[in-house]
Amino acid sequence: MLENVKKKKLIISSLQSDLAQYNFRIGYQLIKEFKNSLLFRYGCPANGSCDHILINKYTGKKIKAFHEFLYNIDYKNIDFVLYFSNEKLNQLTLYYPNTGKEYHIPVTASDFNAIVPEYQFYRSTLTKEKLTIFYSTGTKQQPRKKSVEIDLIKNPK
């Protein structure tokens, strides 16, 4: 249940009572609050990735849905999300929930061959100017370390 600034209560998600013990995996878990929206995680299987949804915090309506993210959303003062744009795995999207702006970053699809490609990303660094996300590709016997650098000045809020 969401109570907005006008004290109006909105049901944004519900579960049957017999599923209550699974709420952490399948129910909505608040991840981050943005200026006009709330980001929730949900639908997390025991051995897979989670889905995410961005909800307007005044109306309770869905703004955008995402699959797994590629970096640690827990960074303080972070105002964007980064995810694979499509199933071809050849493009990332940098999305700013506060403005609705999004930027597309091409990547090499053949680098991402895991069952959950987002899990190939193992570390990220963030400065005011740049987000760098590191990933591994190749095989267990011959892994290769690669990175994607995203210019946050070129792709502004």
Number of domains in the chain: 2
Does one domain contain both 62 and 84?
no
Does one domain contain both 87 and 115?
yes
Residue whose C-alpha is closest to residue 62's, from 49, 70, 51: 51
| Residues 48-69: b if buried by 16+ CB within 10 A, e if exposed | ebbebbbbbbeebeebbebebb
Does one domain contain both 42 and 106?
no
The predicted model scores a pTM of 0.81
E-strand spans in 67-142? 81-84, 91-95, 102-106, 121-126, 130-138
Does one domain contain both 78 and 146?
yes
Does one domain contain both 78 and 98?
yes
Q: List pLDDT tens digits, range 26-70.
A: 578 888 899 999 999 888 877 778 889 999 988 889 999 998 888
Residue 93: per-residue pLDDT: 95
Q: List pLDDT tens digits, range 97-121.
A: 999 999 999 999 999 999 899 999 9
Share of the chain above pLDDT 90, in %: 47
Does one domain contain both 74 and 125?
yes
State the residue range of the domain holding 42: 1-66
pLDDT surpassing 60 at residue 136: yes
**Do the Cβ atoms of 145 and 134 come closer than 8 Å?**
yes
Give the mean pLDDT of the chain.
Answer: 83
